Structure 1
Amino acid sequence: MTQLLPAAGPEDPVTPGRSRRGTGAAWAMFVLRRLVSMAVTLVILVIATFAMVQLIPGDPARRIAGQEASAETVREIRTRLGLDRPVPEQFQAYVANLLQGDLGRSFVSNQPVGELIGQRVGASASLAGVCVIIVLVISLGAGIGLASLTYGHRRPWLESAFQWTSSLMGSVPSFLSATLLIFVFAVTLRALPVSGDNQGLVSYVLPCAALSIAPIAFLTRVVRLEALDVLAQDYMRTARGKRLVPRTFYLRHLLPNVLTTSLTVSGMMLAGLIGGAVVVENVFAWPGLGSALVKGVIVKDYPVVQGITIVLGVAVVTINAIVDVVLGLVDRRSVVTDS
């Protein structure tokens, strides 16, 4: 992730003498580095997904044909799937198909994997998007609020209570949170639906809560510590001495300097959020990619497992790249420093 310079005031951090041409060159180098990093990561991801299937014990052809099928039937299936060819040839065909957007066909349903993903990606994307918004809004608000309340070692009881509560929330895995939420709000109180996404926005409450609790606890701690550090800077003391209205002080001076670190950490947390979604989707019978991935692993539907893994990996890499670009727009010092 991008290494940022020490926080600065709201003025333009780019040196006044820097020409537009120099700034453009810095941006070009910044984007080039991100593209190269994305390309390397995607190559590693493709190799890993292909090797993953090769290392799984068992014969996919036998799985498709069934235990009672004859050796001739199994051999025909292996030939049709290209499993009888040398591994380098299989990898070459796999990459060629990926470049054409062909993720193969399900061993179980014979449905194109791309079609299956298209049917489920919307449910996963909506769930992840709502969770990200919830995590950012709550963490930024709570972190900055707690920093302003505890700055200068004030209210030590509040700081202790926050540290204890956030540690507890951050240590609970998402599947356990999901189980507890279902027991309390769906089974005991019968206030919220337990599964599926067919009841509108209320269907998102429990899955989003299960996915967001730990990230909110972690990111709030990061935001609070970063906000305390920014509040201790000389230019912030100067801004406070000008008796600015709270809205200007917090939104114009404090928030932009805290936002860069928050976005960086959020990008790093994304992989964990997607990993947790795979489990949570199964707990809540959410019709997304996570539940399809787990089902594919159970029935050894390798093309489905490969395809979904590729899509989720590309999503993580792409969103991390977008976060880096947003950081560059929010704080242009990150572009200059990285270049």
Structure 2
Amino acid sequence: MLSMLTRPWPSFLFRKGGELVAAVLVLILLTFAIVHLIPGDAARVVAGQDASPADVESTRTALGLDQPFHVQLWEYFKGVLTGDLGTSFRTGQNVIDVIAARFPFTASIALLGIALTVVISLALGLAVAGLTHGNRNQWLDTAFGWVTAVVLALPVYVIGAALIVMFAVQWTVLPAAGASTLSSYILPTAAIASGPICAMARLVRREAAVVLDQDYMRTARGWRISKVRQYVKHALPNLLASTLTLSGLILASMIGGAILIESVFAWPGLGRAVVESIIGRDYPLTRGIILVIGGIAIVVNITIDVALAIGDPKTLQAGKALT
């Protein structure tokens, strides 16, 4: 067994498996504890503001909120392991059913935003690096830095509101809210992707500047290889490892961005559901949504680590070297 764990892939997968289990356990603890930080009495909210103290206590017992903290945590933990996230306090619906109905709307704009981010940021970063290589076009480098910095400084909901004013109010070419048509996806997707595009483009531009100074790139230029082939065949593959390492965090954060932007565009996804559940002190639904979003972020980062290991086997030993 020990000899197997010293081999690159088994050792790597064992490490990542341990990280996955630890991250999930921490996520379960956080999602359970965080709802208890929401001010207000859930039993009072569910029973109604006009309910008598006896009715409130009866509701508290029915919801299981009268149990000790550790008992509630254990019941929640068992439910997560068996795929039972409980029922909504407000509607009585199964939490998994509510998430399943709303998740496709959140996932659609998040996945579209991720695809848009990867394509545009790689193209933009490489283009700026190529056009400014060798201290050329310094005005472009300066403008690129300023514009991306300004966009990164803006909260996602401010970007969303600006897009609504521009394209839905001023020019009336796109819908401002809802998800009834394909055009409804354009503004929310653009809103959640704008910041990550700038972040990844800056990263790609910086890494590309290093790659373009490598000997093999000088050789490619000396052989008069076309610019497109230089960048796509030689520069891009050498950018992916370093870029993906940090982009995992950026892309995972886009799920959270999708949650925030849904309130701006009245999008019928998990974002609106979690806001409504927090206001209504709907603990099971709040926990379930946060658990799903956190789980997706964990899976995205683990997947990128595995992809990096497949593309660059030297990274298999990275974690071992640190220990």
For this structure pair, what is the TM-score category when the shorter chain's length is used for normalisation?
over 0.9
Gaps of 5+ in 2: none
Once the two structures are superposed, residues 146-188 of structure 1 have per-residue CA deviations (whole angstroms, 9 ceiling, x without a partner) of 1111111111111111112111222111101111110111011
Q: Which residue of 2 aligns with 1:38?
A: 20
**How many residues of Structure 1 are paired with residues of Structure 2 in the alignment?**
318
Once the two structures are superposed, residues 176-221 of structure 1 have per-residue CA deviations (whole angstroms, 9 ceiling, x without a partner) of 1111110111011110011111112x11111011111111111111
Q: Which residue of 1 aligns with 2:277?
A: 296
Query: Percent same amino acid among aligned pairs?
Result: 42
Q: Which residue of 2 aligns with 1:13?
A: none
Say which of 134, 139, 151 aligns to 2:116: 134
Answer with 240-249 or 54-63: which moved more.
Answer: 240-249
Cα displacement (A) at 1:310: 0.3
Question: Using the alignment, how far apart are the partners of 2:29 and 2:318 within structure 1?
Answer: 32
Q: 1:147 to 1:22 in 2, by over 3 A?
A: farther
Q: Which residue of 1 aligns with 2:158?
A: 176
Answer with 245-254 or 138-147: which moved more.
Answer: 245-254
Cα displacement (A) at 1:112: 0.8
Q: Is the CA contact (8 Å cut-off) linking 2:102 and 2:268 kept in structure 1?
A: yes
Question: Using the alignment, how far apart are the partners of 1:90 and 1:194 within structure 2?
Answer: 42
Question: Using the alignment, how far apart are the partners of 2:107 and 2:38 within structure 1?
Answer: 29
Say which of 32, 38, 41 aligns to 1:50: 32
1:193 aligns with 2:168: no
Q: Which residue of 1 aligns with 2:296?
A: 315
Q: Is the CA contact (8 Å cut-off) linking 1:256 and 1:330 kept in structure 2?
A: no
Cα displacement (A) at 1:287: 1.0
Q: Over aligned residue pairs, what C-alpha RMSD do you find? A: 1.8
Q: Which residue of 2 aligns with 1:259?
A: 240
Cα displacement (A) at 1:242: 2.9
Say which of 287, 290, 294 aligns to 2:268: 287
Cα displacement (A) at 1:22: 9.4
Q: Is the CA contact (8 Å cut-off) linking 1:166 and 1:218 kept in structure 2?
A: yes
Gaps of 5+ in 1: 1-20
Once the two structures are superposed, residues 292-312 of structure 1 have per-residue CA deviations (whole angstroms, 9 ceiling, x without a partner) of 111111222111111000000
1:220 aligns with 2:201: yes
Q: Which residue of 1 aligns with 2:9?
A: 27
Q: 1:333 to 1:247 in 2, by over 3 A?
A: farther
1:167 aligns with 2:116: no
Question: Using the alignment, how far apart are the partners of 1:23 and 1:140 within structure 2?
Answer: 36
Question: Using the alignment, how far apart are the partners of 1:25 and 1:243 within structure 2?
Answer: 43
1:204 aligns with 2:190: no
Say which of 223, 226, 249 aligns to 1:268: 249
Q: Which residue of 2 aligns with 1:107?
A: 89
Once the two structures are superposed, residues 43-87 of structure 1 have per-residue CA deviations (whole angstroms, 9 ceiling, x without a partner) of 111111111122333221111111222222222222222211111
Question: Using the alignment, how far apart are the partners of 1:146 and 1:22 within structure 2?
Answer: 46
AA partner of residue 31 (structure 1): L
Q: Which residue of 2 aligns with 1:333?
A: 314
Q: Is the CA contact (8 Å cut-off) linking 2:256 and 2:293 kept in structure 1?
A: no
Q: 1:227 to 1:22 in 2, by over 3 A?
A: farther
Cα displacement (A) at 1:33: 1.3
Q: Is the CA contact (8 Å cut-off) linking 1:278 and 1:294 kept in structure 2?
A: no
1:232 aligns with 2:213: yes
Once the two structures are superposed, residues 99-124 of structure 1 have per-residue CA deviations (whole angstroms, 9 ceiling, x without a partner) of 11111111111111110000011111
Cα displacement (A) at 1:137: 0.3
Cα displacement (A) at 1:92: 0.7
Question: Using the alignment, how far apart are the partners of 2:251 and 2:277 within structure 1?
Answer: 23
Q: Is the CA contact (8 Å cut-off) linking 1:104 and 1:303 kept in structure 2?
A: yes
Q: Which residue of 2 aligns with 1:75?
A: 57
AA partner of residue 136 (structure 1): V
